[in-house]
Amino acid sequence: MPLIMITNDDGIDSPGILALREAMSSLGRTVVVAPERDNSAVSHALTMSRPLRIRQRESDIFTLDGTPTDCVVIGLGKLLDTRPDLLVSGINPGPNLGDDISYSGTVSAAIEGTMYGIPSIAFSVAGEPPYDYSMAMRVAVVLADRVLAGKLPENTLLNVNIPEGKVCRGLAITRQGRRLWENSIQETFDPWGRRHYWIGGGTPLRDHGEDTDVAALHHNLVSVTPIHLDLTNHPGLNLLRRSWDIGKMQEDIGGGRQEEAGS
Ligand SMILES: [Mg+2]
């Protein structure tokens, strides 16, 4: 029976993680290690400035007073007695599309799992609160079953976004699009009349590339994006190597001369 580790960024009491646990329990033994509180938009943060405390809620359900990445690190290192066959993160209430991915705690937990060589999937549902997780649960079972049956490409996780039940029209394999936000800095005043800022809300600017995650959700399709951990722009690397005068730059830095002086 496969061992499936479950985490999220919304906290242990989020309806999304309860739905994901229920879905995954049809495929194997589940172990939940999730943050105590909402950690949305913490990205890939790792807590190094204070100790972390684990609390066991019930058999195979643990909480940690840390980030999603902390949960994966402590879960794999200290809580699970064997290596999981799969790590799933979510189900996040609200999509993680395009540029959202770099802020997302949901996706970062799957990145951390991938760094440990564990097949990992991040799930998010798009729609309006209160979210209906029924379609997302069905999609999670189908995709988790598929990943358990065969390998993902190396150093690659899946970022999955699901439209809410009634509107879902199918599934597309997509690339990461762009999704920048307009008017997402709210300027207001505190009770003492001092100006302050709150980041949130605003309107996403839509990527019009038809093969993107953003477009798939716009067309009410489940979006499955393979995300690679290597952030290197390989054509860019070749371009810089060809077009920059590296020798001249080294001369200007004086690195060679310093090395000579030291030898
Ligand atoms: Mg979240």
Average pLDDT over residues 69-94: 97
**Residues 17 and 32 sit within 8 Å (Cβ to Cβ):** yes
The angle at the Cα of 154, spanning 148 to 159, to the nearest 5 degrees, equals 65
* Ligand 1 centroid – CA 242 distance (Å): 42
Residue 131 DSSP class: P
How far apart are the two ends of the chain, measured CA to CA in Å? 60
- CA 64 vs CA 123, 157, 184: distances in Å: 21, 23, 30
* Ligand 1 centroid – CA 75 distance (Å): 19
What CATH number was assigned to the domain covering residues 3-178+208-231?
3.40.1210.10
- Digit-coded pLDDT (tens) for 170-221: 999 999 999 888 888 999 999 999 999 999 888 888 777 899 999 999 999 9
User: In the chain, where are the structural domains located?
Assistant: 3-178+208-231, 234-263
Smallest CA-to-CA distance from 46 within 63, 64, 71 is with 71
Q: Which of 49-53, 62-66, 253-257 has the lowest mean pLDDT?
A: 253-257
- Residue found under tokens 């009770």: 191
- Digit-coded pLDDT (tens) for 20-32: 999 999 999 999 9
Structure pTM? 0.93
* Ligand 1 centroid – CA 35 distance (Å): 11
* Ligand 1 centroid – CA 100 distance (Å): 11
